[in-house]
Structure 1
Amino acid sequence: MALFPQSALQPGVRKREVFGWAMYDFANSGYTTVVITAVFAAYFVGGIAKGAPWGAFAWTAALSISYAIVMLTMPAIGAWADLRAAKKRVLVIVTVACVAGTAALALTPRLAGPFAVALAMALVIVSNTFYSYGESLTGAFLPELATADGMGKVSGWGWGFGYLGGMLALGLCLAYVLWSQAQGLPASHFVPVTMLITAALYGAAACVTFALLPERALPQQRGAEQGAWQQLRDTFREARAYRDFMWLLGCTVCYQGGVAVAITLAAIYAEQVIGFVPSETMVLIFVLNIAAALGAFGFGYLQDRIGHRRSLAGTLVAWIAVCLIAASVSTKGGFWWAATIAGLAMGSSQSAGRAMTGILAPPRQLAEFFGLWTFATRLASIVGPLSYGAITWATGGNQRIAILSTAVLFVGGLLLLLPIDMRRGREAALRA
C-alpha cells in the first residue's frame, strides 16, 4: 500500500481499509475466472449438455437471466443500502449466498439428464446474481475511500488484487486438474473439486474485507424505498440530470458488452477455433490474468496522471486491435498475442470505468448510482454474448465473423466516450 500516498485517500481513511476493500476483488475474481470463464463454462457445454447444439445457448441463457435479475433489482437494493447505511451488511449476505451457490455447483456432475442441466442452470443463475450484487456494492465503497484525484490508483489496486485472486484460484484448480488427469480421472471427478476450491477461497478472502472495511456512510432520511421497477425509473430520472454520468452509462453498455464476450467465450473460441486443449486453455486464462493485473495496476496510476477519459479511450483502441488479431490468426502463437493484449486492456478498462463512475456519482447516492452502473454492465453482458451467439448461428458457426463484429461494440464505446467532460460531471455530482 506504500505505492500510493495518503493524499490519495479521503480524510481519516487508513490504508488497511483500502487493503480490506481490495481483498474483496481478490475474493470474488476466482468465481468469474474458474466458473464463468475457464472451467465450468466448458464443462457445462461439453459435459453436462453432452456437446449438444443447444448447450452454448443454454449457458448464455442462464447468464442472461441472472444479469436481467440484477439489472432490475440492483438499483433498488443500492437505494435501500444507501438509506440505511447498510452496504456492508448487504455485502455479507450476498457473499454468503454466492459462496453457497458456487459450492453447490459441485453436485451437478453427479447427476444426469435434463435434471442436471436444469439444476446447473439454476445454480449458475443464483451464484452469478449474488456475485453481481457483491461487485456493485463493493464498488460503492470506492468514493468513500479515495479522493477524486486518487480514485484511479485505488480502483487499479482493487482490480489488480482481483486478478491475483483469479490467478490463485485458477492455479490451484489447474494443479488439481493436471493431477487428476495424470491419475486417469474424468472431468466429472475434478470439476466438482474446482468448484469447492473456488467457493472456499472466495469465502476466506472475503472475511478479510469484512474484518478491515468499515461502513462509513450514515443513515439518510430521503423517504421510503419503493418497488424495484419504480425505484429503477426514479433513479434513472434523477440520473438524467447528470449528463456526463449518462454518457458514461451508454459507453459502458457498449464496451463492457465486448469485454463480456472475452470473459464468457474466450475459452470456447480458443478450443473450437484455434485448437487449444483444456489444459492449454487454463494456462492461457492464467496468463491473461497476469496481464490483466499488470494492466489494472499500471493504468490505475496512468489514468490519474493523463485523465480517466483518455486512459479508457486508449484501452478501447487496444480492444479493437484484439478483435482484429483474434479474427485473423490461425495459430496458437498468434492467439497468444491477442490474449495478452486483451488481458492488459481488460484490467485497465474495467478499472477506469469503475473510477469514472465513482467520480461522476453524487456522494449521497453512491450505492444507488453504482446500481445503475451495474445495470449497464449487466445489460452489456446480455447484449455482447447473445449478439456473438446470434452472429455465430446466422453465419453457420463462423466465430471469426462473430469476434470481428465484436469490434463494433468497442468502436461504439469510443464514440460515446467523446462527449464526457469529467470536470463538468464531477462539479454536477458535488452540487447534488
Structure 2
Amino acid sequence: MSEALPGGPSAVPASAGAPAQHTPREQPTPPAPPVKKSKILAWSLWDWGSAAFQAVVTTFVFGVYITQPAFGAEEVVTAQLGTALLIAGIIVALLAPITGQLTDAAGKRKLWLGITTAVVVGCTALLALVAPEPNYLMLGLVLLAIGNVAFEFASVSYNAMLSQVSTNANVGRVSGFGWGMGYLGGIVLLAILLVGFIFPDPGWFGVTHDGGWNIRVAMIVAAAWFGLSAIPVFFAVPEISVDPARKPGIRGIVTAYGTLFRTIGDLWRTARQTLFFLVASAVFRDGLAGVFTFGGVIAARSFGFDATTVIIFAIAANVVAGLATIIAGFAEDRIGAKPIMVWSIACMILAALLVFLLAPLGTWVFWVFGLLLCIFVGPVQSASRSYLARLIPPGREGEIFGLYATTGRAVSFLAPGAFTLAVMLGGAAIFGILGIALVLIVGLLLLLPVRTR
C-alpha cells in the first residue's frame, strides 16, 4: 500500500508534527468503477498529438532549423536559443505548482488544459512566419519560449487527469499506454514530415526548400496534428468539481505561494517519502532527458553517424521506447511502479557503460546498446508518473504534479553539466555518456531508500 499525501478528504487529522494515524488509502473503500476504454483512448490521444511539439518543434525539426547559418553565427544563435529556453524553464519552475493549485481549487483543470493547448498549437502554427533571415530570429525564439511554457503548463493538467481515467488497479498500464502513444505519435508525424516535406525538393503539394518553406509548412502540419488529436479529451473527460473548502483560501499569486510552502511543509511532516520521491525523480528524470538530448551528439561524433543516420536511429529509438512503455505498464500493475523504475534505471546504467567500453568495436555497439538504453526511458517516465498519481488525494493532482514539474526544472542543469564536464575531462564526446550514467546512478541511489509501504 502506497503512502498517501496529507490533506486527503478521508485523512484523519494528526497533532502538529506527528503523522496521521490513517491515510485515505488505508481505510476500506469500495473498488472504483472501471473506466471506459473510450475515455482512456481520448485521454491518450492528447499524448499522441503533443509529441508534435516535443519531437518536431523542439528536438528534430524547428530546433535544428533555427540554428542554421541563415539566422546568424552558429555560436550566437545557439546561445540565444539556450537563453530563450532557460527563461522558459525558469517561468515554469516558478509558476507550475501554483497554477496547478489554483486550477484544482477552482475546478478549472480541463479549461486550463484547453487554453494552454491552444497556445501551444497557435505558437506552432505561427512558426511558419519565421523565414530564414536574421530579422526573424527573435520571433522564432519568442514563439518557441512561449510554446514551451504553455506546453509544460498543459502537461501538468494532463498528468493530473490520469486519476480521472484510471483506478489503482490499472493506473500503470493507462499511464504506460498514454506515454507510449506519445512516442509513437511523434514518430509517425516525424516520418510523414520527413518523407513529405523535409527531405524531398520539391515535396508534397509542390512545397520547395526555398525560403525554408519545407520547414515552415511542416510547422502548420504539426499544429494541425496536435490540435485535432487534442480534441477528444475535452469531450470524454469531465471537468473536476470546485473544492469549496479550498477556494476561499486561495486568492492571488502571493496567497498561492504561501499555500505551496505549507504543502511542502506538510509533505515533510506527514508524507516525507513523497517528498523524497519528488527529489529522486527530479534527478533521474533529468538523466532520462539527457539520453535523448545528447544521444545524437554521441552518435555523430563518436560513432560517425551522418545526419540521416541520426534521424533513422532517433525514429528507431522512439519506436522501441514507445512499445516498451506500453508493455511495461501492464507489468507495473502487477509488480508495482518502483521495481519498474529501479530495474529500468539499472539496465540503462549498464547499457551506457557498455556503449562506452565497447565503442572501439564499431557502430553496431551504438545500434545495439544505444537502442537498449532507449528501451527503458519510457517505462521509467511512465512509472514515475503513475507512482505519484497513486499517492495524491483526489482534488490535489494539479498542485502536486505542478510541484513535480518544478522539482524537475530545478535540477535540469545536472545532465548537461555532467555531460559537459565528462567530455572536458575525457577529451572526447564518448565520455559524455559517463556523465549521463552518473546522473542516473545518483537518481537510483536516491530512489532506492524511498519506501512504498
1:411 — aligned with what? 441
Does residue 232 of structure 2 align to residue 202 of structure 1?
no
1:132 — aligned with what? 152
Q: Deviations over 1:10-50 (max 9, x none)?
A: 42632211111111111101211112222223223344555
Give the counterpart of 2:183 among 163, 179, 182. Answer: 163
Sequence identity of aligned pairs in percent? 27
1:18 — aligned with what? 40
Q: Deviations over 1:234-281 (max 9, x none)?
A: 332233231121111111111111112123333343334433333322
Moved more, 363-372 or 376-385: 376-385
Equivalent residues in 2 for 1:117-266 (5 A)? 117-176=137-196, 177-180=198-201, 185=209, 188-222=212-246, 223-227=249-253, 229-240=257-268, 241-266=270-295
| CA distance, structure 2, for counterparts of residue 116 and residue 411 of structure 1 | 42
Does residue 363 of structure 2 align to residue 332 of structure 1?
yes
| CA distance, structure 1, for counterparts of residue 58 and residue 267 of structure 2 | 31
Structure 2 gaps, min length 5:
1-30
User: What amino acid is the match of 2:213?
Assistant: H
Does residue 111 of structure 2 align to residue 89 of structure 1?
yes
User: What amino acid is the match of 1:409?
Assistant: V
TM-score after normalising by structure 1: 0.87
Moved more, 341-350 or 82-91: 341-350
| CA distance, structure 2, for counterparts of residue 238 and residue 57 of structure 1 | 40
| CA distance, structure 1, for counterparts of residue 163 and residue 71 of structure 2 | 43
Deviation at 1:126, TM superposition (A): 0.8
- Quick one: structure 1 residues 120 and 215, their matched pair in 2 at CA, closer, same or farther if it must change by over 3 Å? same
| SS of 2:67 mapped into structure 1 | helix
Higher helix share: 1
Does residue 421 of structure 2 align to residue 399 of structure 1?
no
Aligned Cα root-mean-square deviation (Å): 2.5
Moved more, 413-422 or 45-54: 45-54
**Higher gyration radius (CA):** 2
Equivalent residues in 2 for 1:29-68 (5 A)? 29-47=51-69, 52-68=74-90
User: What amino acid is the match of 2:373?
Assistant: A
Deviation at 1:231, TM superposition (A): 4.5
Deviation at 1:413, TM superposition (A): 1.1
Which consecutive aligned stretches of 4+ in structure 1 deviate over 4 angstroms post-superposition?
Answer: 47-51, 181-184, 389-392, 394-397
| CA distance, structure 2, for counterparts of residue 323 and residue 360 of structure 1 | 32
| CA distance, structure 2, for counterparts of residue 421 and residue 366 of structure 1 | 21
Structure 1 gaps, min length 5:
1-8, 424-432
TM-score after normalising by structure 2: 0.84
- Quick one: structure 1 residues 152 and 398, their matched pair in 2 at CA, closer, same or farther if it must change by over 3 Å? same
- Quick one: structure 1 residues 236 and 28, their matched pair in 2 at CA, closer, same or farther if it must change by over 3 Å? same
| SS of 2:46 mapped into structure 1 | helix
- Quick one: structure 1 residues 345 and 64, their matched pair in 2 at CA, closer, same or farther if it must change by over 3 Å? farther
| CA distance, structure 2, for counterparts of residue 126 and residue 334 of structure 1 | 39
Give the counterpart of 1:304 among 333, 345, 350. Answer: 333
Q: Deviations over 1:378-416 (max 9, x none)?
A: 234343235434655x45973322221111111111111
| CA distance, structure 1, for counterparts of residue 417 and residue 286 of structure 2 | 10
Deviation at 1:230, TM superposition (A): 3.6
